[in-house]
Amino acid sequence: MKPELRMQFLEAMSRAATFVAVVTTDGEAGRFGVTISSLTSVSADGDHPSLLACLHHQSPVAGAILRNRAFCANLLHEDQHDVSDLFAGRMADGQHSARFDRTSWTPGELGQPNLVGATASFQCRFATSMLWETHHIVVGNVVSVELSDNAGALLYGQRAYRRAVQLSAAK
Ligand X SMILES: Cc1cc2nc3c(=O)[nH]c(=O)nc-3n(C[C@H](O)[C@H](O)[C@H](O)COP(=O)(O)O)c2cc1C
Residue 70 or 154: the one with the smaller Cβ distance to ligand X is 154
Indicate whether 138 belongs to the interface with ligand X (CB under 6 A). Answer: no
Site mask for ligand X (CB under 6 A), range 149-168, x = bound: -------x------------
The answer to whether 56 contacts ligand X (rule: CB under 6 A) is yes
Exactly one of 17, 42, 88, 91 binds ligand X (CB under 6 A); that residue is 88
76 binds ligand X (CB under 6 A): no
Check residue 30 and give left, alpha or beta (phi > 0: left; psi -120 to 50: alpha): left
Q: How far is CA 84 from the centre of its chain?
A: 9
Residue 167: how many CA atoms within 13 Å on its side-chain side?
Answer: 2
Quickly list DSSP for 65-113: HHHH-EEEEEEPBTT-HHHHHHHTT-STT--HHHHHHTS-EEE-TTSPE
For ligand X, which is the closer residue by CB, 38 or 144? 38
Residue 102 Cβ vs ligand X, minimum distance, rounded to whole Å: 14
Among 24, 50, 59, 68, contact with ligand X (rule: CB under 6 A)? 59
Name which of residues 15 to 44 contact ligand X (CB under 6 A): 20, 34-38
Distance CA 122, CA 143 (A): 8
Q: Which stretch binds ligand X (CB under 6 A): 48-56, 67-75, 102-110, 123-131?
A: 48-56
3-state secondary structure (DSSP) of residue 4? helix
Q: Which helix (H) or strand (E) covers residue 6, if one does?
A: helix 3-14
Residues that bind ligand X (CB under 6 A): 20, 34-38, 54-56, 59, 61, 84, 88-89, 156
